[in-house]
Amino acid sequence: MDTLSAPLVAQESSFQQAKRRFLKSISARIGLTLTIAILVLSILAPVLRPFDPATARDFAARLQAPGLIYWLGTDGLGRDMLSLVWYGIRISLLISIVSVGLGLLIGTFLGLIAGYFRGWLERVIGWFTDILLAFPSILLAIAVATVIGASLQSVMIAVGIVEIPKFIRLTRSMVLTLREQGFVQTVQAFGAKPWRIILYHILPSSLAPLVVQATLSLGTATLEAAGLGFLGLGARPPTPELGTMLSDSFTNGYALSAPWTILIPGFMITLIVLAFNLLGDGLRDSLDPRGNR
């Protein structure tokens, strides 16, 4: 009984140690707090919104500075900036989560195949990865979004494709290391099927670095989605999106006459990226004791 429970006790002890390291990190606590605040604001946007960003327009209050009625001012169509930012955060988070999830699923699957089966599969997947990495990420995203067409869905697909090679390389490197470990060779010796070994032994041991990479990728995905929105390849009006708000302010010349129209969405993009980066750094340091030297 003691022998059977020993691995569970060791796993629980490792989790508790990682939890303590995470809570001791100032950057991790700041990142977690910011991330929770951003998620809560985005979820509660339909409940707390003072105005509907799609229909509520006060042309008499165009480009009104922040005040008592419009706390963050209005844009060139008389729309409340606070409502736009609230919904813009929601759209940006939706794009980031879906695109990173797409990259995580496809990249992890291909990385597992390449790392475990090796041979011609590894070469083909390696060539595919090298081709994707040969292009700067934003240019690749622009190319994909242009081919598919400007829409919210195309941004998700474009950013998701950009994220795939990161997870392929990370997963493949993890599999190459784990497949030589004793516990994997033991289950192989007992005749376990390859997919059973991959799903029940290799993949669970690879989750920690994948979670860290996914968290960090949420920040880069937010920037890439905002860049596509700024170039007019993102969400179409009247859907509020932070990159599209930046583009609207810049192209209509509001940046100087009404600086809040470009500073507020820019600040929120920065805040989202900062929150995910701090959270990702905290997770990496807590899950990798060697990083806490």
Per-residue model confidence as pLDDT tens for the chain (293 residues): 444 343 444 455 666 777 788 888 888 899 999 999 998 888 887 777 666 676 777 777 788 889 888 888 888 888 888 888 888 898 999 999 999 999 999 999 999 999 999 889 999 999 999 999 998 898 999 999 999 888 889 999 999 999 999 999 999 999 998 887 887 788 878 778 888 888 888 898 888 899 999 999 999 999 999 999 999 888 877 788 899 999 989 988 888 889 999 999 999 999 999 999 999 998 888 876 554 44
Report DSSP state, residue 180: T
pLDDT of res. 21: 82
Domain count, the chain: 1
DSSP states of 122-180: HHHHHHHHHHHHTS-HHHHHHHHHHHH-SSHHHHHHHHHHHHHHHHHHHHHHHHHHHTT
pLDDT of res. 239: 80
3-state secondary structure of 214: helix
Q: What is the C-alpha R_g of the chain?
A: 23
What's the CA dihedral at 132, 138, 143, 144 to 10 degrees? 70
141 occurs within a structural domain:
yes
pLDDT of res. 7: 42
The answer, as to whether pTM is greater than 0.95, is no
192 occurs within a structural domain:
yes
The separation between CA 288 and the C-alpha centre of its own chain, rounded to angstroms, equals 21
Structural domain containing residue 181: 37-291
281 occurs within a structural domain:
yes
pLDDT of res. 51: 66
How many helices (H) does the chain have, and how many strands (E)?
14, 0
8 occurs within a structural domain:
no
14 occurs within a structural domain:
no
For residue 163, the domain's CATH number is 1.10.3720.10
20 occurs within a structural domain:
no
> Which has the closest alpha carbon to 116: 193, 207, 210, 212?
193
93 occurs within a structural domain:
yes
4 occurs within a structural domain:
no
pLDDT of res. 15: 67
